[in-house]
Structure 1
Amino acid sequence: MDDAVEGAVMSARHWPDTLAGIANMLRSDPGVLGKRDIETSCSKLGLNQNSEGRPGDDCAILTDQSGFLLFAMEGFINAFVEADPWFAGWCGVMVNMSDILAMGGRPVAVTDAVWAADPAKAELILDGMRAASDAYGIPIVGGHTNLRAGQSQLAVSIIGRAKNIITSFDARPGDVLIAAIDHRGEYRAPFNNWQAALSAPGDRLRRDMELLPSLSENGLCRAGKDISQGGVAGTATMLAECSGVAIDLDLEGLEAPDGVPLARWLVTFPSFGFLLSVSVDKAADVIAHFRDQDIWAGAIGNVAEGSTVSVSSSTGHEVLWDHARNPYLGLPKKEMSDA
Structure 2
Amino acid sequence: MTLEALAGALRHHPSIRGKLAIAGATGALGLHHESIGRPGDDAAILPREGGGYDLLAGEGFIPQFVAADPWFAGWCGVMVNLSDIAAMGGRAHALIDQVWAPSPEAARPLMQGLRDAADAYGVPIVGGHTNYGSPALGLAVTVFGSADALITSFDAEPGDVLLAAIDMRGSYRPPFDNYCASLDVPPARLRGDLALLPELAESGLVRAGKDISQGGIVGTALMLAECSGVAVTLDVDNIPLPADVALERWLRTFPSFGYLLSVKPDEVGAVRAPIAARDITVAEIGRVERGSTVTLRSGSQSALFWDWKREPYIRPTVAEPAHA
Q: Which amino acid aligns with 1:195?
A: C
The one of 69, 79, 91 equivalent to 2:54 is 69
1:265 is aligned to 250
2:226 is aligned to 241
1:328 is aligned to 313
The one of 196, 200, 207 equivalent to 1:215 is 200
2:188 is aligned to 203
Distance 1:28 1:319, change over 3 A: same
1:283 CA displacement: 1.1
Query: Any conservation in 1 of the 2:4–2:304 contact (CA below 8 Å)?
Result: no
**Partners of 2:318 and 2:204 in 1: CA distance:** 25
- Secondary structure of 1:36's partner? helix
1:227 is aligned to 212
The one of 169, 172, 176 equivalent to 1:184 is 169
The answer to whether structure 1 residue 25 and structure 2 residue 9 are counterparts is: yes
The answer to whether structure 1 residue 101 and structure 2 residue 86 are counterparts is: yes
The one of 237, 255, 264 equivalent to 1:252 is 237
Q: Give the fraction of aligned pairs with identical amino acids, expressed as a percent.
A: 55
1:107 CA displacement: 0.4
Can you list the C-alpha shifts for 1:288-329, whole angstroms capped at 9, x where unaligned?
A: 221111000000000000000110001510111111111111
1:6 is aligned to none
- Secondary structure of 1:148's partner? coil
1:330 CA displacement: 2.2
Q: What is the number of residues matched between the two proteins? A: 319
Can you list the C-alpha shifts for 1:72-129, whole angstroms capped at 9, x where unaligned?
A: 0000010000000000000000000000000000001000000011111111100000
**Partners of 1:315 and 1:258 in 2: CA distance:** 25
**Partners of 2:207 and 2:5 in 1: CA distance:** 33
- Secondary structure of 1:135's partner? helix
**Partners of 1:64 and 1:45 in 2: CA distance:** 24
1:333 CA displacement: 5.8
Distance 1:331 1:222, change over 3 A: farther
1:59 is aligned to 43
1:331 CA displacement: 4.2
**Partners of 2:319 and 2:171 in 1: CA distance:** 42
Query: Any conservation in 1 of the 2:312–2:318 contact (CA below 8 Å)?
Result: no
Task: List runs of 5+ in structure 2 lacking aligned partners.
Answer: none
1:5 is aligned to none
The one of 108, 118, 121 equivalent to 1:136 is 121
1:293 is aligned to 278
Task: List runs of 5+ in structure 1 lacking aligned partners.
Answer: 1-16
Query: Any conservation in 2 of the 1:49–1:334 contact (CA below 8 Å)?
Result: no
Q: Which amino acid aligns with 2:74?
A: G
**Partners of 2:244 and 2:300 in 1: CA distance:** 22
- Secondary structure of 1:150's partner? coil
**Partners of 1:259 and 1:275 in 2: CA distance:** 23
The answer to whether structure 1 residue 152 and structure 2 residue 137 are counterparts is: yes
Aligned-residue CA RMSD (Å): 1.2
Q: Which amino acid aligns with 1:276?
A: L
- Secondary structure of 1:35's partner? helix
Can you list the C-alpha shifts for 1:6-42, whole angstroms capped at 9, x where unaligned?
A: xxxxxxxxxxx43122111111011111111011111
Moved more, 188-197 or 40-49: 40-49
**Partners of 2:272 and 2:85 in 1: CA distance:** 20
Query: Any conservation in 2 of the 1:19–1:315 contact (CA below 8 Å)?
Result: no
Query: Any conservation in 1 of the 2:3–2:303 contact (CA below 8 Å)?
Result: yes
